[in-house]
Amino acid sequence: AIQCVFATENSLLCTRGDSAMMLGKGQSDFGWKDHPSYSVATMLLKNKEHAERALKSMLSLHPEIINSRDVWSGKSFLQHVIETSNNTRLLELLMNSTEKIAFTRDRRGYTPFLSALDKSRKAAVRMLVTAVVQGRVPRLPSALEPVVECFEWLAYAYPREFVRLLRDMPLEEEPEVLAPDETDMPIRRMHVRGHAQRSPVAELSLWRDLSGHNSSWATF
């Protein structure tokens, strides 16, 4: 008996037992460049004995799997690993790639960063902070918003990681602050301390003026 029938615009596929037959003008090809879906990737991790080997194989061909998302929940593969696995080796394999990371929100409004804090995954928090510092998260306000909104929680739960994030996070040069004419600067006096990088100053006189203040963070 025929067990299942699939119909497309150009072909008809019938399955019977362990065999299948295709009729019509359709073609059947397999592309090695097609990355596994979210459901396939998460299913492979359920076998704890072979999870590391399976993940390593997937990442060698498709490092972008880290950002794949579930259609129904909206969770990313990275968020799934953080929430469901205590195996830090799996997370290390996932985070060791050079692929850009997107802190996308699921249907609950959670992101990988928020899930790491919510689940008290210290290793995950450390790796995510490192990813931000290394520039693997796009330096756009919308991309970094999930990190910024967790500042209070991060500072309370993991103060060392919070300080490291503030100290080492790359700074983007602001053209209006670095204008050669001081009269064009919207902020006339501002001296920020605590970061490993300092924005260059156009005029030495301005630098001496700013250096004369002894405030800990900023002087206006």
For residue range 23-82, list pLDDT tens digits in order: 665 555 544 455 667 888 888 888 888 888 888 888 888 888 899 898 889 999 999 999
Q: Which amino acid is at 78?
A: L
Q: What confidence category does residue 126 fall into, taking pLDDT thresholds of 50, 70 and 90?
A: very high
Cα separation, 86 vs 15, whole angstroms? 40
For residue 76, what are its two tokens? 């990313």
Report the largest interatomic distance among the alpha carbons of the chain, rounded to a whole angstrom: 89
Total-model pTM: 0.65
The larger pLDDT score, comparing residue 124 to residue 193, is at 124
The residues that bridge with 25 in the sheet, in sequence order, are none
Taking the C-alpha atoms of residue 193 and residue 207, their distance in angstroms, rounded to an integer, is 14
pLDDT band at 114 (very low <50, low <70, confident <90, very high): very high
What is the Cα–Cα distance from 99 to 214, expressed in whole angstroms?
Answer: 42
